[in-house]
Amino acid sequence: MPSDAYAEYEKNLRDVRRLLAAHQKENQPNPGRRGLGHYTRGGLLLLCASWERYVETVVEEGAAYLSRRLAGWAQLPSEPKKAAQDHANSHKNSWTPAQLKGAQWGAVYLDLVKQLTAKLNTPKHHKLKPLFQKALGVPDIGAAWARGSSVIEDFVALRGDVAHRGHAGPYVRIGKLKAAKIDVTEYVVQTDNFLSNYLRTCVTPWKRPWKRIM
């Protein structure tokens, strides 16, 4: 099975598919007519929400895997190890360095990751790179994406225009939404597979947190 985050993403896509189907049904009497932008704008917003939710949940799922499989805080990759130490030393929460270095290290680490994902908005590459670095130790999540970051950047930027300008924003054609659904799913699959490969090397003996998507 792929990650639980991927399974949830697939469920969240159902609403996008329903909007695509509703658009097709209403468009049949007079193909090509305008006035159906509420379907495509709504679908775009839901698709981006699904992408953002996937990122948040797969990061938390990966962190939970490390907290179960590693013997202690010292075995974390360098970036999350330092971030967890800073989190324990911070006066903004109730954790202490002693708890991090003791049996509660996993709770401290997972609390850090929860705070990191809670701050995520506008899920573009420049926001995702530090999230994956601090939470899981991935140097650059962009390395997972065969087409680089520009496709997802443009998609999230379009979501922003639609969300902030509403009907005055760009008209989203049905073909654009269909293509975006394929693109975002490609990025989800590549991220899921990349993390399956990466996280297995963080534990001893090597073991995948979930199966790759073929």
Q: How many residues does the chain have?
A: 214
- pLDDT at residue 28, as a whole number: 66
- pLDDT at residue 22, as a whole number: 78
Provide the residue ranges of all domains of the chain, joining segments of one domain with +: 4-200
- Dmax over CA atoms of the chain, in Å, equals 69
pLDDT tops 60 at residue 75: yes
pTM of the complete model:
0.93
Residue pLDDT, tens place only, 93-123: 889 999 999 999 999 999 999 999 999 999 9
Residue pLDDT, tens place only, 146-200: 999 999 999 999 888 776 666 656 777 888 889 999 999 999 999 999 999 999 9
Residue 75, class by beta-carbon neighbours within 10 Å (0-12 exposed, 13-18 middle, 19+ buried)? middle
- pLDDT at residue 36, as a whole number: 67
User: How big is the chain by its Cα radius of gyration, in Å?
Assistant: 20
- pLDDT at residue 29, as a whole number: 63
DSSP string, 24-93: HHHHTTSTT-S--HHHHHHHHHHHHHHHHHHHHHHHHHHHHHHHHHSSSGGGS-HHHHHHHHHHHH-TTS
- As a whole number of Å, the end-to-end CA separation of the chain is 10
- pLDDT at residue 20, as a whole number: 79
Residue pLDDT, tens place only, 22-51: 767 776 666 655 666 677 888 889 999 999
Cβ-proximal residues to 155 (8 Å cutoff; 6+ apart), any chain: 48, 51, 180, 183, 184
